[in-house]
C-alpha cells in the first residue's frame, strides 16, 4: 500500500468537513462506484458525520428511519474515491447517534481487510452529556487497537455543530 494514500484520504475528510466539493448537481451513478478491484481500502469509522448526514447514510434503513437523503456526495468517502484514480475504496462505517464507546465496539468488524482507518467521533458523547475525558480515552483506545491490528490511523478533530455553539466549545476542545 502506498503510505501516502491514508493521509490523502484524511485530507479528503478535512476538505469535506470544510464544505469543499463539486458544483455538479447530478446524482452519482452506480458506474461511479468501485468494483472492488483490489485498490486501497480505508475503513471510515465514526458517527453520522462519517456516514454523511444529513444528505446520506450508508444504511438504507437509517435513511428511512431518520429521514436522511441518499446522495453519496454528502459523504467524504465519495469525494476521496472520486479524487483517487488508483481505486481507493472508503468503507463507510458511520452510524448516526453513536458515542465513542459504541464506535470502538465496531472497530474490528469495520477494519477487517482494510489497509487503514480514519476515526471520527465525540460529538454524540458531548450531546448526550457523557464524560469528555472518557470520550478522549475511547478515541485513544480505538487508535491503539487499530495500530495493534497493523493499520495506519488518521483521526479527525471533533467538529462543532450549529446548535452546540458556543456552549459545547470547551468540551470539543477537551475531546
pLDDT tens-digit readout, 28-50 = 333 333 334 568 999 999 999 99
**Is 156 inside a domain boundary?**
yes
**Is 99 inside a domain boundary?**
yes
**Is 52 inside a domain boundary?**
yes
20: confidence class by pLDDT, cuts 50, 70, 90: very low
Which residue, chain included where needed, has cell 458556543? 166
**CB-CB contact of 76 with 42 (8 Å):** no
pLDDT at 55 over 50: yes
B/e letters for 70-85, b = 16+ CB within 10 Å, e = fewer, are: eebbbbbbbbbbbebe
**Is 29 inside a domain boundary?**
no
**Is 71 inside a domain boundary?**
yes
**Is 28 inside a domain boundary?**
no
pLDDT tens digits along 90-132: 999 999 999 999 999 999 999 999 999 999 999 999 999 999 9
Number of domains in the chain: 1
Q: In CATH, what number is assigned to the domain containing residue 105?
A: 3.40.50.1110
141: containing domain: 9-17+39-174
B/e letters for 10-33, b = 16+ CB within 10 Å, e = fewer, are: bebbeebeeeeeeeeeeebeeeee
**Is 141 inside a domain boundary?**
yes
Task: Tell me the angle at which helices 5-17 and 76-83 cross, rounded to the nearest 10 degrees.
Answer: 130
* CA 17 to each of CA 49, 50, 170, 171: distance values in angstroms, whole numbers, following the listed order: 9, 10, 20, 19
**Is 146 inside a domain boundary?**
yes
Amino acid at each position: 500500500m502506498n503510505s501516502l494514500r491514508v493521509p490523502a484520504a484524511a485530507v479528503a475528510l478535512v476538505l469535506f468537513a470544510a464544505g469543499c466539493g463539486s458544483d455538479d448537481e447530478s446524482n452519482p451513478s452506480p458506474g461511479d462506484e468501485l468494483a472492488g478491484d483490489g485498490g486501497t481500502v480505508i475503513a471510515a469509522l465514526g458517527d453520522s458525520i462519517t456516514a454523511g448526514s444529513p444528505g446520506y447514510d450508508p444504511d438504507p434503513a437509517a435513511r428511512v428511519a431518520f429521514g436522511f437523503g441518499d446522495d453519496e456526495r454528502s459523504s467524504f468517502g465519495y469525494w476521496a474515491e472520486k479524487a483517487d484514480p488508483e481505486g481507493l475504496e472508503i468503507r463507510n462505517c458511520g452510524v448516526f447517534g453513536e458515542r465513542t464507546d459504541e464506535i470502538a465496539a465496531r472497530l474490528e468488524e469495520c477494519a477487517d481487510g482494510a489497509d487503514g482507518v480514519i476515526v471520527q467521533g465525540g460529538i454524540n458523547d458531548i450531546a448526550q452529556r457523557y464524560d469528555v475525558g472518557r470520550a478522549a480515552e475511547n478515541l485513544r483506545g480505538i487508535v491503539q487497537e487499530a495500530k495493534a491490528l497493523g493499520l495506519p490511523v488518521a483521526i479527525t478533530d471533533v467538529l462543532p455543530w450549529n446548535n452546540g455553539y458556543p456552549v459545547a466549545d470547551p468540551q470539543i476542545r477537551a475531546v
